[in-house]
Amino acid sequence: MSYTNFGGHAVVTGAATGIGRETANALAQAGVDGIIFADLNLEGATTAAEESKAIATSPQYQAIPCRLDVSDSDSVQNMVDLALKHFGRIDYSVNSAGITSMKNDKVPDLDILEYDKLHAVLARGTALVTRAVSKVMINQTERVIAYRNGPKNLGRGVIVNVASAFSLLGGIGRLPYISAKHAVMGIVKASAMELAAHNIRVNGICPTWVTTPMVVSKTSFGSSADFLKVANALSVRPELASLAKANPMRRPAKTEEVADAIVFLCGPGATYITASEMIVDGGLLVASPGSWPQSDPDSNQAI
């Protein structure tokens, strides 16, 4: 990550692990002055916040852990209030909090409780966080920095919501997750159209399968052979191995690769990008659909 001297302050949800944690670390390295590490797992958020201090490049850097349930409006407001108490403003909001489902019910057998659970976190949570941080951003001053061609207006704030390749696709046996991730991009596009008038940008990031902490702890994916070996050894769904073969880059994404894309969208090089979905998929979505694993209704579980 080559971005430096970002300045400003961030809230990152889902910051205890995975994409959220890596994004918070990347922002710390990029020079933000403070980050709220928000997660349902307060212990994990506290550990992540403390460890980020060794990566941070701003001398004023603060890392504040916060327990957050994104599906609860009071909890979301508490996160925002904490950011205002410590920082006075919110320049970057990254909503990475999420859950998935191992259920693969066909449409006639849809588990509506599972549907409600996923939508509460992925769709409602995205809407609540976007609503709360936008209220703050609308009322704060624009940031202007020195840039290569003179002063550059960064606007009043940036919101990046973590969506999915499934925000752009369909799939078998995945209705709750797919519909919730489509909703995330709907929230991105609707809010971006409205908030552009306030010089606030809103974008979505759409990764395919990203290596989980469990898998990363076992090996580093330097090649497709590594991935296939570990996928089989850990009894990960066999469709993941097929998906790796179908991906032009022959491997899943690393968390740092998704995080770096998010930091780009937050940064001064992306001031004319809003309402977009940035696809981070190793080329999977433009690969021939015939090469995708489709023998089992669970085959899209990886995305």
Q: Just list the catalytic residues.
A: 177, 181
Taking Cα atoms as reference points, which of 10, 4, 27, 87 lies closest to residue 260?
A: 27
| Residues 218 and 173 sit within 8 Å (Cβ to Cβ) | no
DSSP string spanning the chain? Answer: -------SEEEEESTTSHHHHHHHHHHHHTT-SEEEEEES-HHHHHHHHHHHTTT---TT-EEEEEE--TT-HHHHHHHHHHHHHHHS--SEEEE-----------GGG--HHHHHHHHIIIIIHHHHHHHHHHHHHHTSPPEEEEETTEEEEEESEEEEEE--GGGS---TT-HHHHHHHHHHHHHHHHHHHHHGGGTEEEEEEEE--B--HHHHTT----SHHHHHHHHHHTT--HHHHHHHHHSTTSSPBPHHHHHHHHHHHHSGGGTT--S-EEEESTTGGGS-GGGS--SSTTTTTT-
**The 3-state secondary structure of 215-229, one letter per residue:** HHCCCCCCCHHHHHH
Count of beta carbons in the 10 Å neighbourhood of residue 283: 11
